[in-house]
Amino acid sequence: MLLDQRRDQILQHAQEHGYVSLGQLVAHLGVSESTIRRDLEALDQAGQIRRTRGGIAYVGESLPALETRVTRAHLEKQRIAKAVAAMIQPGESILLDAGSTTLEIARQLHKMELQVLTTYLPIVNLLHSAPNIELIFIGGYIHPKTDVALGPIVTQTLKGLHVRKAIMSAGGLTSRGLFNSNTLLVDAQRMMIEASEEVIVALDSHKLGHTELVNLCPLDDIDRLVTDDAVDPQWVQMLEQQNIAVTIAR
């Protein structure tokens, strides 16, 4: 089992049970106690769990820090970013969601002529000097660990917007739809979906089958999924049966 998959399983187990003992995690994952301890230390530092005597407690309304997310599946994110960028036409207005994958997509857009709207400070910092991009930051309360603008100012602003494409990220996808870990973030993402003509979800394949705290939207709200070539063909078949176009970045 890959490190990211193992840590996702730890989070999912903690989310389902609230509290999980160290012994339960060792038995559930079939790895050594020392490996689990290293995983718990990393997840604790990222603010996703709280370590307790003999186990962990689920934190709930958390978002992993950008540094943690950037290191996950980095090559896959780069390939996904190139595939998404190829779908964007010069002159379009697009909404870029917060996330390490959407940040990679922003890197691919630096030389294009576009109108880019975002709630994500790292994307603002990356694109503010791009000569041909009209950049609009949708501001609000800035989440201190992730640099994402959240809250009612953001959602109210998004209500009055209309764009060609929303390029979304998420914490997971199942047959029930998209999921994420923070209700304020989900509120903004729902408004992004409402504001756009086409919803493109950029998601590395290990997040398929994974849930988070909050259901963001049903599959009906998604027009296209862009993922990496490790995706299980059964997921592709299921999504295409739901009239979702699937692009596999190779």
How confident is the prediction along the chain (250 residues), in pLDDT tens digits per residue? Answer: 677 778 888 887 776 666 788 888 999 899 999 999 988 888 877 666 778 777 887 655 445 554 444 445 678 889 999 999 999 999 999 999 999 899 999 999 999 999 999 999 999 999 998 999 999 999 988 877 788 998 889 999 999 999 999 999 999 999 999 998 888 889 999 999 999 999 999 999 989 998 888 899 999 999 999 999 999 999 999 999 999 999 999 8
Give the pLDDT of residue 70: 47
Per-residue pLDDT, 69? 47
CB 169 within 8 Å of CB 179: no
CATH class of 68-249: alpha beta
> Which string of DSSP letters, residue by residue, matches 55-123?
EEEE--S----HHHHHHTTHHHHHHHHHHHHTTPPTT-EEEE-SSHHHHHHHHHTTTS-EEEEESBHHH
Tell me the average pLDDT of the chain: 88
Cα–Cα dist 188/196, whole Å: 13
- Bridge partner list, 168: 201
Enclosing H/E stretch for 23: helix 22-29
Rounded Cα distance between 245 and 125, Å, is 31
3-state secondary structure of 125: helix
Alpha carbon separation from 156 to 46, 94, 181 (Å, rounded): 30, 18, 21
Q: Which residues of 122-156 are buried (b: 16+ CB within 10 A; e: fewer)?
A: bbbebbeebeebebbbbebeebeebbbbbeeebbe
Closest by CA to 80, choosing from 64, 114, 63, 103, is 103
Domain boundaries, the chain: 3-58, 68-249
Yes or no: is domain 3-58 CATH 1.10.10.10? Answer: yes
Report DSSP state, residue 208.
B
Distance CA 68, CA 146 (A): 10
The contacts of residue 74 (CB under 8 Å, 6+ apart) are: none
Sequence letter at residue 22: L
Q: What is the pLDDT of residue 64?
A: 52
Q: Are 164 and 198 in contact (CB under 8 A)?
A: yes
| Backbone dihedral angles phi then psi of residue 192, each to the nearest 5 degrees | -60, -40
Look at the chain and count its residues: 250
**Strands laid side by side in the 55-58 sheet:** 19-21, 55-58, 49-52
203 close to 177: Cβ distance less than 8 angstroms: no
